[in-house]
Structure 1
Amino acid sequence: MTVKEVESAAERLKYIVHHTPVNSSRTFSEMSGTELFIKCENLQKTGSFKVRGAYNKLAKMAEKGETDSVVSSSAGNHAQGVAYAASARRMNATIVMPRSTPIAKVAATSGYGANVVLHGDCYDDAYQKALEIQQETGAVFVHPFDDEDVIAGQGTVALEIFKDIPTVDAVLIPAGGGGLLAGMACYIKQINPRVKVIGVQAQGANAIVQSFQAKSHLSTETSFTIADGISVKVPGKTTTELINSYVDEMVTVTDEEIADAILLLLERTKMLVEPAGAASLAAALHKKINLNGQRVVCVLSGGNIDVSFIHKIVEKGLITRGRQLKFGTVMLDIPGSLQHFSAIVASCGANIIMVQYDRLHADLRLNEAILHIVCEVSGTKHGQDVIEKLAQNGYKVFLE
């Protein structure tokens, strides 16, 4: 992978994709101890960086006079990227998606003109079906990450960062299959080896982290994270080789840290970023690597999030930041007990937003109930004050 390949990809993409903004943030800078910028690929066409690699692949095919039909498999951003690119190049595209794919993503993909085939219960099932269609039709299979033309297209994100922030010290990049990280790392290190490249994975989907540490190509048996865009058990072989050669460090973030970053982005920048896209910012804010005083760019790789899932992310983020307090306590199941309990919570300035009774637990006496509570509080200390006040009044509180 050479600088020339990424620059050629940038030329092909020149009038196709957005040169997305790199925004500074005083709030995030203060929280991370860095001079922090965010590269907003969540504002890209189709809602993520994926269109870059997909379009570069299809454009190179056209230059070589290759087939006018492509097939791919995806449950998310790659599907929309390929569909958009095929429409722009006037190619036929068939995208195989798992039957469990949210309706909104299926509609968005078909809306770009692709023929959507729903098959199987997971990505692996969809991938196998896509290979069958490729064999039957002779269409070209467009891999979501393990393809040099796709990787070169993703590398154009780094080219834009250097144009906008030429004095950058470090770039934090989310990684699942590794296409974005590999492409950007190749370009960054060949242009300016001084710049640190840090890959970020979800703790529950860390195949690239393991591969990086072992300097080999490894996969994981499971992949469990809210960041579905980087939930990959088997990273690419090509991407792994490039990452092991060019990346300085790999780190992981928890789902709670990702949710916290999404909530902060909503509050402070008014931007909605999907879990995978917020992983890089989560790593910076939670100081997974020492970058104090450095000029840092976090790549927000996408903004396609299922609307029905947003409230779960916000709730997880509020709990992580101590803005919501979830706990249980045992109380007498008699008239006036809840009123007495509520009065104590109210005296602390907390707001009860959920109450649930459990009268059937095996350890309870006949006149007892377990009360499950969710309260709004101003922060961790406020929550501790509420718990201490309840303890002073005889309530044994257990956090949930």
Structure 2
Amino acid sequence: MTDLPVTYADLAIAAQRLAGQANLTPVMTSRTVDQLTSAEVFFKCENFQRTGSFKFRGAFNALAQLSEAEKQRGVLTYSSGNHAQAIALAGHLLGIATTVIMPQDAPAVKRTATAGYGATIIPYDRNQTTREQLAATIAQTQGLTIIPPYDYGPVVAGQGTATKELLEAVGALDWLLVGCGGGGLLAGAAIAAKTLAPHCRVVGVEPSRADDATRSFYTKTLQTVTNPDTIADGARTPSLGKITFPIVLHLVDEMVTVSEAEIMAALFFLWQRLKLVVEPTGALATAALLHHKIPRMQGRIGVIISGGNVDLPAILALIPRESSSEIST
């Protein structure tokens, strides 16, 4: 794996930087889930991470590596919410000014938290411009360093520490299920898994309405999607990146998709049966598990719950329309 843009050595160094900064999130089990799946399932609960998602890992690792001159000038990022919060908090902890470009329709809970951590928020209309173009213009004008949400080596390395912790806590796994937006978490998870548990099969999970990474994986050609209409707002990314795409192609074993109804069913299951506050994107991997997207899966299965920043008004408004989606117990 030494020819890939991010290696396990990068993850190991990231873990050292994050020691004492990132939460060592819990691993939870459920007899009910084990019975439903005929397997032994371990949930890595990144909804308990600082800022409510795994994104803090990559954000802090990236900002901690900046030069003093870059730290003085400040940083810029673009995000629908979780990376935004992570950059804002990491900047606050490290004394770095942060500016975040956020879509106007980003969940209110995420906008509020990002502002609360001290970031300057610049809203934009998804239908009028792309966040990448806007970021390039602002960064050049103000002299800011851009920290992308997923297609950036230090971010990928930081995200991979979640899987490193999971495997160190529970031992080797037969399968690992990971949600996928731009692929930062999935790429980092695959690097950790293939190093620490080489026989573990890594599966990426996307919403069926935002299946660009799945199409990219199976066609071996980068595919895109434009503003997909999915409740999993963290998976509305346009495509995998120049860094994440080759890692996913090389190390991930399979990609699957889940419907909006399946995401909602998994979300409510996690809320009601495991008592975990999880956001829709954070439930992608669980949805694939509970809806048996890979029928032959058995043995020891790891599931990454990536975040818990729930936009409650938006989710509760969906309950009448989606309430027929259930997990058979």
Name the TM-score class by shorter chain.
over 0.9
What 5-or-longer segments of structure 1 have no aligned partner? Answer: 323-378, 380-400
Q: CA deviation at 1:245?
A: 0.2
State the alpha-carbon separation in 1 of the partners of residues 226 and 130 from structure 2: 16
- Partner residue in 1 for 2:70: 66
Deviation sequence 1:338-382 (CA, Å, 0-9, x none):
xxxxxxxxxxxxxxxxxxxxxxxxxxxxxxxxxxxxxxxxx9xxx
Given residue 10 of structure 2, which amino acid in structure 1 is its aligned partner?
A: E
Change (3 A) 1:220 1:104: closer
| TM-score, with length taken from structure 2 | 0.93
- Partner residue in 2 for 1:187: 192
- Partner residue in 2 for 1:134: 139
Conserved 8 A contact 1:67-1:139: no
Q: Which one of the candidate residues 307, 310, 314 is aligned to 1:309? A: 314
- Partner residue in 1 for 2:165: 160
State the alpha-carbon separation in 1 of the partners of residues 322 and 264 from structure 2: 5
Q: Which one of the candidate residues 212, 232, 245 is aligned to 2:237? A: 232
| TM-score, with length taken from structure 1 | 0.77
- Partner residue in 1 for 2:90: 85
Q: CA deviation at 1:121?
A: 4.0
Q: CA deviation at 1:204?
A: 0.4
1:76 paired with 2:81, answer: yes
- Partner residue in 2 for 1:116: 121
Q: CA deviation at 1:321?
A: 2.3
Change (3 A) 1:279 1:97: same
Secondary structure of residue in 2 paired with 1:61: coil
Secondary structure of residue in 1 paired with 2:308: coil
1:288 paired with 2:293, answer: yes
Change (3 A) 1:124 1:28: farther
- Partner residue in 1 for 2:7: 2
Change (3 A) 1:252 1:102: closer
Q: CA deviation at 1:123?
A: 9.3
In the TM superposition, what are the counterparts of 1:1-400 in structure 2 within 5 Å? 1-62=6-67, 66-68=70-72, 69-121=74-126, 124-221=129-226, 223-321=228-326
Change (3 A) 1:315 1:19: farther
State the alpha-carbon separation in 1 of the partners of residues 320 and 283 from structure 2: 16
Given residue 112 of structure 1, which amino acid in structure 2 is its aligned partner?
A: Y
Change (3 A) 1:317 1:99: closer
- Partner residue in 2 for 1:391: none
State the alpha-carbon separation in 2 of the partners of residues 18 and 123 from structure 1: 38
State the alpha-carbon separation in 1 of the partners of residues 30 and 322 from structure 2: 20
Runs of 4+ off more than 6 Å: none
Given residue 66 of structure 1, which amino acid in structure 2 is its aligned partner?
A: E
Q: CA deviation at 1:122?
A: 5.3
Give the number of the structure whose residues are more often strand, by fraction: 1
Q: CA deviation at 1:297?
A: 1.1
Given residue 70 of structure 2, which amino acid in structure 1 is its aligned partner?
A: E
The structure with more radius of gyration: 1
State the alpha-carbon separation in 1 of the partners of residues 110 and 128 from structure 2: 14
Given residue 236 of structure 2, which amino acid in structure 1 is its aligned partner?
A: S
Q: CA deviation at 1:94?
A: 0.6
- Partner residue in 1 for 2:3: none
State the alpha-carbon separation in 2 of the partners of residues 302 and 250 from structure 1: 20
- Partner residue in 2 for 1:367: none
Q: Percent identity?
A: 38
Aligned-residue RMSD, C-alpha: 1.9
State the alpha-carbon separation in 1 of the partners of residues 181 and 253 from structure 2: 17
State the alpha-carbon separation in 1 of the partners of residues 216 and 297 from structure 2: 27
Conserved 8 A contact 2:167-2:196: no
- Partner residue in 2 for 1:382: none
Conserved 8 A contact 1:72-1:127: no
Instruction: Give the length in aligned residue pairs.
Output: 323
Deviation sequence 1:205-237 (CA, Å, 0-9, x none):
011101100112221345221111112222212
Given residue 168 of structure 1, which amino acid in structure 2 is its aligned partner?
A: L
Given residue 238 of structure 2, which amino acid in structure 1 is its aligned partner?
A: K
Given residue 310 of structure 2, which amino acid in structure 1 is its aligned partner?
A: I
State the alpha-carbon separation in 2 of the partners of residues 158 and 273 from structure 1: 18
Given residue 246 of structure 2, which amino acid in structure 1 is its aligned partner?
A: E
Q: CA deviation at 1:66?
A: 3.5
Q: CA deviation at 1:124?
A: 5.0
State the alpha-carbon separation in 2 of the partners of residues 10 and 255 from structure 1: 34
